[in-house]
Amino acid sequence: MTSFVKDKYNRPLRDIRISVTDQCNFRCTYCMPAEIFGPNFKFFNNEKLLTFEEITRITTSLAELGVEKVRLTGGEPLLRKDLHLLIKEISKIQGITDIALTTNGVHLPKHARLLRESGLARVNVSLDAIDDEIFRRMNGRSVGVKPVLKGIRAAIDAGLDVKVNMVVKKGENDSQIIPMASYFLEQGIQLRFIEFMDVGSTNGWNFNQVVTKKEIYKIVNSLYPLEAVESSYFGEVAKRYQYKRTNVEVGFISSVSESFCSSCTRARISADGKLYTCLFAGSGYDLRTLLRTESSTQDITDMLRNVWSNRDDRYSDERCEETQKRPKIEMSYIGG
């Protein structure tokens, strides 16, 4: 029987984001800068990664506590072999109503149809520019726009719901706000603008590089008038709008300029099995050891319940010079 859990601020646990690998084929400047994650960087070996069976077991316990939505992340999750088998198992868990994936899209042409057949509903594809030169510079691997657009088309053709995520950094790709809006409006695909966030400690975050939701909205609205769309559920991250006289939406994720801590219903599990109750956390709770001992399913459920019921994270509400100095886990480690 499902027994929902709430934290110290009465926030329910509804969403879990699970990193299936810490490796990625891109080196985006805001996530895995190449100067840090170079050729000698040591990623997890297979023994340290949670197995699909372990992930399924954790997700079953989380569903008992009220989790309904699962998002698979990385690194780049499509680098994890046979990911469709994990999706198939998660889709069987009672209470899980939605399975999504965040990806850079390059491998979607190969995998999209099988992922959809296995139970995947949605993909969020990261694309930070529609201009080849700017995108090549931002992804750190000189990959052009075309492979990502091909992946987006493959996902749509497979029947997946698609959103495109654009992280906006002042002086790097803010010139792409209108070109991206124009392109994806014409394609009828929802674009989501994301403020450059102070996740981890390797991306050189500085508030001066943040283009706020208010600024992006003003730029887009000046050319394409927008009207607000009501939130569809408690804890929805993006502020959603619709281009007037169309049915195409655009979203804004603004955790720097407009905190959404008060309605945060998300936890995260790293590829090596640590549970994090905040995107900006400095440490997590070890699930892998628990899974690899004689612990029962009830033991795991009780541990998860205890962690969430004692949760009091409010980083974005409390963001200041001192909190920014705290050690924070890297985005590539917990999947954003």
Tell me how crowded residue 61 is: count the other CB atoms within 10 A of its CB.
Answer: 20
pTM for this one? 0.93
Report H helices in 65-124: 83-90, 108-118
What do you get for the CA distance between the two ends of the chain, in Å?
Answer: 31
Task: Place 333 in a pLDDT band, splitting at 50, 70 and 90.
Answer: confident
298 burial type by CB count under 10 A (0-12 exposed, 13-18 middle, 19+ buried): exposed
Domain borders along the chain are: 15-334
What is the tens place of the pLDDT at every residue in 16-44?
999 999 999 999 988 888 888 999 999 99
More confident residue, 283 or 157: 157
Higher pLDDT, 248 or 314: 248
Statement: residue 100 has pLDDT above 80 = yes
Please name which of 326, 275, 319, 321 lies closest in space to residue 301, comparing C-alpha atoms: 275
- Determine the topology of domain 15-334 in CATH: TIM Barrel (3.20.20)
Query: Cβ distance 300 to 245 under 8 Å?
Result: no
**Residues 32-89: tens digit of each pLDDT:** 888 889 999 999 999 999 999 999 999 999 999 999 999 999 999 999 999 999 999 9
CA separation for the pair 322, 320 (Å, rounded) = 5
Residue 266, strand partner residues: 15
What local confidence, expressed as pLDDT, does residue 321 receive?
Answer: 55
pLDDT in tens, 171-228: 999 999 999 999 999 999 999 999 998 766 666 667 788 999 999 999 999 999 999 9
Report how far residue 169's alpha carbon sits from residue 175's, in angstroms, rounded to the nearest whole number.
10
Residue 129 pLDDT > 60: yes
